[in-house]
Structure 1
Amino acid sequence: MQNLINRRQLIKGITAGTILSQLGSLPALASNERRLFVDGLCFLPDDLADLSSSKIDAYLCDISAIEAIKQPDGTTNYKRTYKACIKSIAEANSRVEANKDKLILGLNSSDIKRAKQTDRTAVFFQIQGADCVEESIDNNLNQVDEFHAKGLRALQLTHHYGNQFSGGALDNDASGGLNLPLTKAGEALIHKLNQSNILVDVSHSSPQAALDTARTSNSPIVQSHGAVRAIVNHARCSPDEVIKAIADTGGLFGVFMMSFWLTNDKVPTTDHYINHLKHVAKVAGIDAVAIANDYPLRGQKNLLKLNNNNAEGVKQYLDWWHSLREKNVLGYDVEPVHVVIPELNHIDRMERIDLALGKAGFTSNDRDKIMGQNWQRVLNEVLV
């Protein structure tokens, strides 16, 4: 743990100030200048006009494609296979290339500043699950190099369920355990990602796998999108020890928009979202707090069609939810009654969060960090 603490002290003492100033940090905001907005997870929009409307300068952009895999217990896992993701990253590259007036392929943190200065959006390609790395470890994980050459800059170890690299948040073995570790193959993959300057993302990992990853990685790691288990006791939410371990690597924790993992109250509000940000700041420090989405830029599509009627919108999740309740997975015994925070399921989400942070007592400097500078700092350190 000592090496993690030293790395965190380095980040807090040097990176947040000196490194950002040396490597393209933004100057102090003028009174009429909007602060930097960076999002932890979103997608390429159907309508590229959403890029400018959202006012987001950069984001981790999930470009992965999935195959639905039936589990032996009857539940469904969605795997990002090599074949599907090689095709999807090529398609995403083509779309960025065809729309250079609106998009920048994010390869390092300087692309964030370039995007803001030119009124474009930098997208940093991410894949939600390392199933796309299908080759054996003996083959030196060359598929990682292939994805990197095509623009991949962040890789999530797993999605919900475990794979050859990592235990998943929703894994459930015969004893009802939910805490399967990082594997030897996972350790090798993390070393390869560090060497390749690809950001390691422990979203959807089990708590033990996330802790193992924090100890293994020589670079900052992130949970790009998640929530706090101390507030909602659910397998998809992270314990405090995980949040702190991520921060101790110099990384960050992004809080997302899925309201059934933000509160068990019947009516979700922006205050519920802010409470998760406050908790991360309390446990891990302000340099570890970030914003994420996990819905399209404009918001969760079905709920928008329903005018954010949560009572109707939640129905699309119930079959999946009940299947995991039958497996006795932590938190699925509580029936969800909402999907989104209506005020934040909106194209102006980032501005509304920023204003809510001000009302909640966060300083202007804290808001700068939460809304974008923490992401800029981490990407600057990893994507060299």
Structure 2
Amino acid sequence: MNMKLAIDRRQLLKAIAAGSVLSQLGSFSALAAETKRLYVDGLCFLPDDLSDLNASKINAYLCDISDIEAIKQPDGTTNYKRTYKACIKSISEALTRVNDNPDKLILGHSGADIQHAHDTGKTAVFFQIQGADCVEESISTDLHQVDEFYEKGLRSLQLTHHYGNKFSGGALDNALIHEQSQGLNKPLTKAGKQLIAKLNDKGILIDVSHSSPQSALDTAKASNAPIVQSHGAVRAIVNHARCSPDNVIKAIADTGGLFGVFMMSFWLTNDAIPTTEHYIAHLKHVANVGGIDSIAIANDYPLRGQKNLLKLNNNNAEGVKQYLDWWHSLRAKNVLGYDIEPVHVVIPELNHIHRMERIDLALAKAGFSGSDRDKIMGGNWQRVLKDVLG
């Protein structure tokens, strides 16, 4: 017998007997699983530094390529609309950037591109626009602007952003605050139903993030394909207009779709200090309501994390100040949940380039099986994108 191997074996057995390496062995086992597991994110952006793609270990994500125009609302609040002019320019620029970096990026056309990205060490990005305001043409047309965006790579369209538009009610529609408190809110419009039919026909994923609960429920009924809430949180945990009630989570799941939980900590907990356990609590709740096949991960910040908080070394007390003017403007309109002053923006541990690995390990610690983690960390996104995009 090789003497060195014998000594190493004896040392290992002694260490195990002493319990000193058990936790390390568990971590190594989890890390080995991570190297094989798909990581797919529900909402992020093209990074300034493309080396972030590899560092994040994310195989694919819905990539918000939209641009905005700030529109002042009649009630004094500001809506950031994704207009046609802004978005046709931004998607063209994003397409050029992806095409110029074939060694790092794959433009996501179908669900199969996720596995291809995984196998080649690249990242598949599925272009998404956060608001159908970019479809400005009359509903009496054939909605050819949708075709134009599709040809440039659009594969997911959010119906609205915060406030309602001609297609959908918004989560923060101020005129409906009393109805919101009672679970009633602006429904999907006739134009919205026409848009859904068009998106189904084109094979574009429908995203009800930021929609009013009623519009989300209506969309689930109207769509003949799975729908998603790419990024959001649970109203049963944080009673806020931007968080979704259980009937919306269940309706999305019943379409074969999924619900992505995002990183914005003021919508994850009202506790003074946000932790990874608060994030896991939302995932558990979605699993209880919609089933394990309905859970997914989302970011809604850049790959590295919320930029200002990173500059502040994740000092939430300082970082939250940038949100307070906006928060107080909605409090003045009595929008649900804005009466509670936010004291944080991020979960420090997850505001990091390695957040997907950290969530994966936290799920294991919380008792989720390897097969469940496969689904949560990427498998559910892969399935839905295959179902909708082909």
Q: Does the TM-score normalized on the shorter chain lie above 0.5?
A: yes
2:38 to 31, 36, 39: 36
Matched, 1:311 2:317: yes
Q: Quick one: structure 1 residues 370 and 269, their matched pair in 2 at CA, closer, same or farther if it must change by over 3 Å?
A: same
Q: Quick one: structure 1 residues 30 and 167, their matched pair in 2 at CA, closer, same or farther if it must change by over 3 Å?
A: same
Matched, 1:283 2:289: yes
Contact kept, 8 Å, 2:34 with 2:357, in 1: the verdict is no
**How many Å separate the matches in 1 of 2:325 and 2:138?**
35
Question: 2:306: which partner in 1?
Answer: 300
Question: 1:81: which partner in 2?
Answer: 83
Identify unmatched segments of 5+ residues in structure 1.
1-28
Q: Quick one: structure 1 residues 313 and 31, their matched pair in 2 at CA, closer, same or farther if it must change by over 3 Å?
A: closer
Question: 2:208: which partner in 1?
Answer: 202
Matched, 1:236 2:238: no
- Deviation per CA, 1:186-225: give whole Å up to 9, x if none: 0000000000000000000000000000000000000000
Question: 1:246: which partner in 2?
Answer: 252
Question: 2:352: which partner in 1?
Answer: 346
Question: 1:189: which partner in 2?
Answer: 195
Matched, 1:212 2:214: no
Question: 1:133: which partner in 2?
Answer: 135
Matched, 1:266 2:272: yes
Question: 1:26: which partner in 2?
Answer: none
**How many Å separate the matches in 1 of 2:337 and 2:140?**
39
Contact kept, 8 Å, 2:177 with 2:335, in 1: the verdict is no
Question: 1:8: which partner in 2?
Answer: none
**How many Å separate the matches in 1 of 2:176 and 2:318?**
35
Q: State the Cα RMSD in Å.
A: 1.1
Aligned residue pairs: how many? Answer: 356
**How many Å separate the matches in 1 of 2:172 and 2:137?**
25
State the shift of 1:34 in Å.
2.8
**How many Å separate the matches in 2 of 1:186 and 1:30?**
45
Matches within 5 A, 1:34-183: 34-173=36-175, 176-178=178-180, 179-183=185-189
Identify unmatched segments of 5+ residues in structure 2.
1-30
Contact kept, 8 Å, 1:171 with 1:177, in 2: the verdict is no
Q: Quick one: structure 1 residues 114 and 162, their matched pair in 2 at CA, closer, same or farther if it must change by over 3 Å?
A: same
State the shift of 1:175 in Å.
6.5
The TM-score, its normalising length taken from structure 1, stands at: 0.91
Percent identity over paired residues: 80
Bigger radius of gyration? 2
**How many Å separate the matches in 1 of 2:38 and 2:281?**
22
**How many Å separate the matches in 2 of 1:264 and 1:32?**
31
**How many Å separate the matches in 2 of 1:335 and 1:175?**
18
Contact kept, 8 Å, 1:290 with 1:375, in 2: the verdict is yes
Q: Quick one: structure 1 residues 46 and 278, their matched pair in 2 at CA, closer, same or farther if it must change by over 3 Å?
A: same
Contact kept, 8 Å, 1:103 with 1:122, in 2: the verdict is yes
Question: 1:10: which partner in 2?
Answer: none
Give the letter for the 1:208 counterpart: Q
**How many Å separate the matches in 1 of 2:240 and 2:176?**
19
State the shift of 1:177 in Å.
3.1
**How many Å separate the matches in 1 of 2:326 and 2:244?**
20
**How many Å separate the matches in 1 of 2:176 and 2:323?**
25
Give the letter for the 1:221 counterpart: I
SS of 2:348's partner is: coil
The TM-score, its normalising length taken from structure 2, stands at: 0.90
Give the letter for the 1:144 counterpart: V
SS of 1:372's partner is: helix
State the shift of 1:172 in Å.
1.9
**How many Å separate the matches in 1 of 2:200 and 2:35?**
36
State the shift of 1:176 in Å.
3.3
